[in-house]
Structure 1
Amino acid sequence: MTSVAIRLKELEEDELEEFIELWCERVGSGYEFVERIGKANDKGRDVIGFLTQAKHEGPWHLYQCKRKTRGSALGAPEALGELGKVFHYHSQGAYRTMPEKYVFVAPRGVTGPLQDLIFNPSDLKAALIANWDDYCAGSITQRRKIPLSPELKALIEGYEFGKVSHLSAAGLAKHPASLKALTQVLGLPPGDAPVGAAPDLLQAEEMEYIDQLRQVYGEARGTPFATADDVLADGMHGDHLREQRNRFFDATSFRLFHRDNTSVEALVEFEAEVHHGVVDVYRLPYGTRLERVGAVMRHASTMTCAIKGKLARIPVRQGMCHHLANEGLMKWIP
């Protein structure tokens, strides 16, 4: 993760905001939706995670991205200035509620004095009030200075500063919610999808290709199988069908992982690559349809299909062929 953290420190402002937007979509905080603002007149907000449809009239989290130059950590003066914006714009009605969580995203870290303030919330509150004239009054807007009015002071005194935290490059690099952002923003290859295994009971989602294979096995045996359960109980074809089910669900796990952590577009490209890789083998003449299934499985095992540079394991490539059959693109019973 060290090299990943280094690359995170080099992100430009727009890239960092995009990274955090993707990170928020995957972080598992129960966000109803995520909004990226991060531009001039953002009123102190770069990326927002809304927890309800009430948006700014309900609970929300704020992620303030602070990209610094090489070797420069986020310091207390700039951090206090950003906090001041939130209280000011809240007082002006830009958002009806204050954020339930305020996170400084500082890839290069925070200075020791700022860390001490964040770790001691009452000190952070006192520092914002004491240093308002120096760090906030002139930095909130270029049009005029914003004095610490009694209203603003009351808002600050009533806020729980334990809600303020920070994220560094090291923390982002090892966080599981970063996988999609690392792939899309940094172009890193995705990790390995968890291995999928077939449940004991047949599932509705697999019944299309299972029924096709039921007919394939019946043709090979010379007498039809009435149900898929009859195939599974058969001494010759039962184990073969169990292998196909495991491959199908391994490919299902692969699909879900890359849909959530890579991109839908990359997954579509991968599935098309599998299809184009096996379809010519599928179309060859065979003595039985079971021979066709076997030939396609063998060929799929030799292909070098990858997603974002990451080679898919053999059962995934094979299982994807059953998904193609399931979806009618390459049926085992044409």
Structure 2
Amino acid sequence: MATAKQQVDERAALTEMPLPADSTPSVALDGPPVPPVGRIRLYSPDEWEEFIREWATAMEENYVQIKLLGGAGDRGTDIVGFKTDRQFEGPWDCFQAKHYDKPLNFSAAAAEMIKVFVAVLDGVYSLPRTYRFLAPRGLSTHFNMMISNPTTLRENFLALLVKGEAPSVKALARPLLEEVKALAAETDFAMFRSVEVLDALTTHSRTRWHTARFATALPERGDSKTPPEEYAPEEARYLQQLLAVYAERAPDKITTLDSVANVPKLDKHLQQQRVRFFRAESLKAYSVGAVPPGTFEKLQGDIHAGVIDIAQDDHPDGYTRLGQVLTQVGSLDLNRHKLIGVTEIDDRKGVCHQLANDDRLTWMEEP
């Protein structure tokens, strides 16, 4: 079993935070809904960091990578956005998560700012382009005014170092304190900024985690992709399976996909299945921006579980097996899935063809 020290060291390690699988907080069943501003005030510090990690993905910045580093030994960095693959050796931004039960004041913020200057002097990283504080209750009025005036902020910070009474200043050895003063004196304090809570929520609303976090309605889905006239490479396997079904039904007329046109009824059926497949592909693409990772795959998994027994039953032919599966999928209870509100019957049937495309469903019995 890992010791407490090992666990702390592992927490502090410079590792990339995996994308949150499903950050849906519990929702009260009774009483009025809790608005997002109120909900984030109930977060734990770790949940607040996760929220900021999600928020950073929607910023209008082309980050090569976003990492969560918060924890003991993070050297004043909670969440960082790297502009290049040089990471700390190139331009980067820092997002500092401070989850307190009151507005963030200058004293608490200054302690974090000192960590930054010390880390730079220790060669841990270069100064960030921007260092932004995010607190669920915002900043105190005094600190908000100060951070809005970079020159004033620097003057107050230097005065804090000279006075030397703050615990974060007392902890510095005299030579290091003088180095921090010198570095701070030549630094443009416009790098230190704050993010207003309402602005953070507006930006977060553009992420795939927002609906799950705050129980809001899914964004509008828009139109589904229309099947191209030419068969696309990504259709190959499910079309191959359909061709086998059609060839079994009309062996004297159908040997290739192009020959399906010789049987109007089957040709119409083929075009209908292509529309369904591309509807499901559009739903999958939509899910990337609307719901947490894995949500669409969970829907696929439950559809597979709901129809596999029908697919594996005995049927007189492949066409009947396919028809029974497509009928069954329309009757499945999928109401627990977040995507169901924007999912129609043809989307469900299209998912069956996605599963066939991956050979998780087959329409013809093995010889």
TM-score by length of 2: 0.75
Could you tell which deviates more after superposition, 247-256 or 233-242?
A: 233-242
Could you tell which deviates more after superposition, 276-285 or 125-134?
A: 125-134
Residue of structure 1 aligned with 2:122, choices 92, 104, 129:
92
Could you tell which deviates more after superposition, 269-278 or 159-168?
A: 159-168
Other-structure match for 1:298: 327
Tell me the secondary structure at the aligned position of residue 14 of structure 1: helix
Do structure 1's residue 328 and structure 2's residue 353 form an aligned pair?
no
Letter in 1 for 2:274: R
Letter in 2 for 1:317: R
Q: Residues of 2 paired with 1:117 and 1:232: CA distance?
A: 74
Q: 1:154 to 1:309 in 2, by over 3 A?
A: same
Q: 1:14 to 1:275 in 2, by over 3 A?
A: same
Identity across matched positions, percent: 27
Tell me the secondary structure at the aligned position of residue 48 of structure 1: strand
Other-structure match for 1:191: 218
List gaps (5 residues or longer) in structure 2. 1-32
Residue of structure 1 aligned with 2:349, choices 315, 318, 321:
318
Q: CA deviation at 1:234?
A: 6.3
- Asked whether the equivalents of residues 253 and 263 of structure 2 are also in contact (C-alpha less than 8 Å), the reply is no
Q: Map of 1:108-123 to 2, 5 A cutoff?
A: 108-123=137-152
Other-structure match for 1:14: 46
Q: Map of 1:61-76 to 2, 5 A cutoff?
A: 61-69=93-101, 72-76=102-106
Other-structure match for 2:72: 40
Residue of structure 2 aligned with 1:173, choices 195, 201, 213:
201
The number of aligned residues is 327
CA RMSD, 1 decimal: 3.3
Tell me the secondary structure at the aligned position of residue 202 of structure 1: coil
Q: CA deviation at 1:322?
A: 0.7
Do structure 1's residue 138 and structure 2's residue 166 form an aligned pair?
yes
List gaps (5 residues or longer) in structure 1. none
- Asked whether the equivalents of residues 215 and 224 of structure 1 are also in contact (C-alpha less than 8 Å), the reply is no
Q: 1:237 to 1:130 in 2, by over 3 A?
A: farther
Q: CA deviation at 1:67?
A: 0.5
Q: Residues of 1 paired with 2:258 and 2:188: CA distance?
A: 60
Q: Residues of 2 paired with 1:224 and 1:105: CA distance?
A: 68
Q: CA deviation at 1:43?
A: 1.6
Do structure 1's residue 279 and structure 2's residue 311 form an aligned pair?
no
Tell me the secondary structure at the aligned position of residue 108 of structure 1: coil
Other-structure match for 2:83: 51
- Asked whether the equivalents of residues 137 and 148 of structure 1 are also in contact (C-alpha less than 8 Å), the reply is no
| Deviation readout 1:118-155 (Å, 9 max, x if unpaired) | 33333333332334346x87343774466895643443
Q: Residues of 2 paired with 1:28 and 1:296: CA distance?
A: 44
Q: Residues of 2 paired with 1:304 and 1:28: CA distance?
A: 39
Q: CA deviation at 1:256?
A: 4.2
Q: CA deviation at 1:222?
A: 4.9
Q: 1:64 to 1:250 in 2, by over 3 A?
A: same
Could you tell which deviates more after superposition, 231-240 or 38-47?
A: 231-240
Letter in 2 for 1:300: V
TM-score by length of 1: 0.81
